[in-house]
Amino acid sequence: MTEAMQLLIGTRKGAWIFRSDAARARWRIEGPLFLGQIINHFRVDPRDGRTMLMAATTGHLGPTILRSTDGGKSWTEAKRPPAFPKGDKLGRAVNHSFWLEPGHADEPGVWWAGTSPPGLFRSADGGESWESVAGLNEHPMVAEWLPPDGGTPDGAILNQVVLDPRDARHIYLATCSAGVLESLDQGGSWTPLNKNVRCDFLPDPYPEFGQDSHFIALAPADPDRLWQQNHCGIYRLDRPGEVWDRIGEAMPKEVGDIGFTVVPHVRDRESAYVFPMDGTEVWPRVSPGGRPAVYRTRDGGASWERKDSGFPAQQGWFTVKRQAFCGDACDPMGLYLGTTGGEVWMSDDEGESFRQVAAHLPEIYSVTAAPAP
Amino acid sequence: MIRVLIPSQLTAYTDGVTRVPAAGATVDEVLKDLDARFPGIRFRVVDEQDRVRRHMRIFVGLEETRAVSRPLSDGDELLIFGALSGG
């Protein structure tokens, strides 16, 4: 059963909304919204289907959060965007919000934000005002875990907030310099969760923290199963276990297991999708060999199948960033990815084939899928 | 009264107006006065630690300042610019 979907697309130069028919065959484009603003993330609240937030900044101006409460028809700016407390001992100031996460189903109006430099912020009023989460931002280890000047070329980031759908107190973070952090008390305290996750770039290749966790995802069919696309490989962890398994070892050696993101199947706990990139030598971060492909596992990562039908067979140098690959909840499940070259691709048959939905957009930073209103 | 030049990056806040009068004895007081009338405008110029953002520039007349504590005198002109940056 499929239904009309909307894709919320954040780019380096503004945002777009694509809305489909029920068959997901034809797409209608709305936008640009906020042309020229850098939109790192663009989400709709699944609890009401109408509240939308964008993490926005520009080349010149400081960051803000843009809000709509009518499904994108009208927009206002947050009254108090994420900001560190004045006089912060590390001198931190939010450069941009990177990740926006609607809160737990039991907590309407709650949203979470991850920022650069790394910080965690919470809103209790639908994104209108934001508070610094002291349990992380003032943690005794924060300078070691999340140094403001460390991490990725575009600035150190707290790149992801992931909630356990069964328990609002249980939160995972993916970060660029402390790997995965876990809280069991809704952000009051945190513990690294990085056993057996490799750091090729540190003297100790298996430290307690220091990993660059590009993306983590809980399997919708089994929230005790975590998938991780790390800077150094693809991993899986079944809780309550604490030792990650590098399932990317089963990827073809000529492709490798480097990438930005992983998408678990919406109904099958054994299935997930990755979009590998070239992590050799100087890290080109493009499709290996210029042959873009999704890889799918249907056995928990023991083996991977190449899925490239519809993609260019050669000279296709795609890069798909952290937030730019996602799935929907339809049956068959749809897959959507946006490229740094401004193309949107989709599969309506669970990865068997892909087709281009749009081209010529600015560099795409995020793609999220949700049922259309 | 301080005369303030609003750069194109911020005219969405001022309904397109590029020159607005404001009150204040320091750069910060003027920015806060602007923020009271155009909510959100100050945070996009100055961060939460009261630092002028990296790609913004503030001049009092011909003199650049990075300090929001810079005193102002009645009749001064405060010019806000987006610094040269791009891509």
DSSP string, A236-275: EEETT--B-B-GGGGS-TTT-S-EEEEEE-SS-TT-EEEE
Q: H or E stretch including B62?
A: none
User: Per the CB < 8 Å rule, is A60 touching B85?
Assistant: yes
Share in percent of chain A as helix, strand, coil (round to 5): 5, 40, 55
Instruction: Measure CB to CB from residue B44 to each of A61, A85, A88 and give the nearest one.
Output: A61
Q: The whole model's pTM is what?
A: 0.95
User: Per the CB < 8 Å rule, is A61 touching B53?
Assistant: yes
Instruction: Measure CB to CB from residue B83 to each of A60, A84, A88 and give the nearest one.
Output: A60
3-state secondary structure at position B75: coil
Q: Domains (ranges, CATH) in chain B?
A: 2-82 (3.10.20.30)
Instruction: Measure CB to CB from residue A60 to each of B39, B40, B55 and give the nearest one.
Output: B55
Residue A8, both tokens: 């919320």
User: Per the CB < 8 Å rule, is A83 touching B86?
Assistant: no
User: Per the CB < 8 Å rule, is A59 touching B40?
Assistant: no
User: Per the CB < 8 Å rule, is B43 touching A58?
Assistant: no
The predicted-structure confidence for B45-78, as pLDDT tens digits, reads as follows 999 999 999 999 999 999 999 999 999 999 999 9
Rounded CA-CA distance A218/A171 in Å is 11
What average pLDDT does this structure show over B31-39? 97
User: Per the CB < 8 Å rule, is B40 touching A79?
Assistant: yes
User: Per the CB < 8 Å rule, is A60 touching B46?
Assistant: no
| pLDDT number for residue A59 | 87
User: Per the CB < 8 Å rule, is B86 touching A81?
Assistant: no
User: Per the CB < 8 Å rule, is B48 touching A88?
Assistant: yes
Burial of residue A138 (number of CB atoms within 10 Å: 0-12, 13-18, 19+): middle
Q: Which residues of A touch B45 (CB under 8 A)?
A: 61-62
Rounded CA-CA distance A2/B3 in Å is 58
Residue of B nearest to A65 (CA): B40
Residue A64, chain B, CB below 8 Å: the answer is yes
What average pLDDT does this structure show over B5-22? 96
User: Per the CB < 8 Å rule, is B48 touching A58?
Assistant: no
Q: Which residues of A touch B53 (CB under 8 A)?
A: 60-62
Residues sharing a CB contact under 8 Å with residue A93, sequence separation 6 or more, in sequence order: A83, A84, A117, B47, B48, B49, B51
User: Per the CB < 8 Å rule, is A61 touching B48?
Assistant: no
Distance from CA of A130 to the nearest CA of B (A): 13
| pLDDT number for residue A57 | 95
Q: What is the mean pLDDT of each run of 10 residues along chain A (373 residues)?
A: 95 98 97 97 97 95 97 97 97 97 97 98 98 98 94 86 98 97 98 97 94 97 98 97 98 97 98 96 93 98 98 97 97 98 98 98 98 94
How far are the Cα atoms of A113, A208, A211, A231 from residue A124, in angstroms, in the given order?
Answer: 12, 32, 31, 33
| Cis peptide bond upstream of A205, omega within 30 | no
Residue B6, chain A, CB below 8 Å: the answer is no
| pLDDT number for residue B85 | 66
Complete DSSP assignment for A118-177: TEEEEESSTTSB-EE-HHHHT-TTHHHHS-TT-SSTT---EEEEEEETTEEEEEEEEESS
Q: How far is CA A112 from the centre of its chain?
A: 13
Instruction: Measure CB to CB from residue B39 to each of A79, A83, A85 and give the nearest one.
Output: A79
Distance from CA of B65 to the nearest CA of A (A): 17
Q: Which residues of A touch B46 (CB under 8 A)?
A: 62
- Phi and psi for A160 in degrees, rounded to 5? -165, 140
Residues sharing a CB contact under 8 Å with residue A102, sequence separation 6 or more, in sequence order: A43, A45, A46, A47, A110, A111
Residue A153, chain B, CB below 8 Å: the answer is no
Distance from CA of B43 to the nearest CA of A (A): 6
Q: Is the pLDDT of residue B86 over 80?
A: no
| pLDDT number for residue A152 | 73
Residue of B nearest to A88 (CA): B49
Interface of B with A in 14-73 (CB under 8 A): 39-40, 43-51, 53, 55-56
User: Per the CB < 8 Å rule, is A60 touching B9?
Assistant: yes
Give the CATH number of domain A5-371: 2.130.10.10
Q: Which residues of A touch B83 (CB under 8 A)?
A: 60
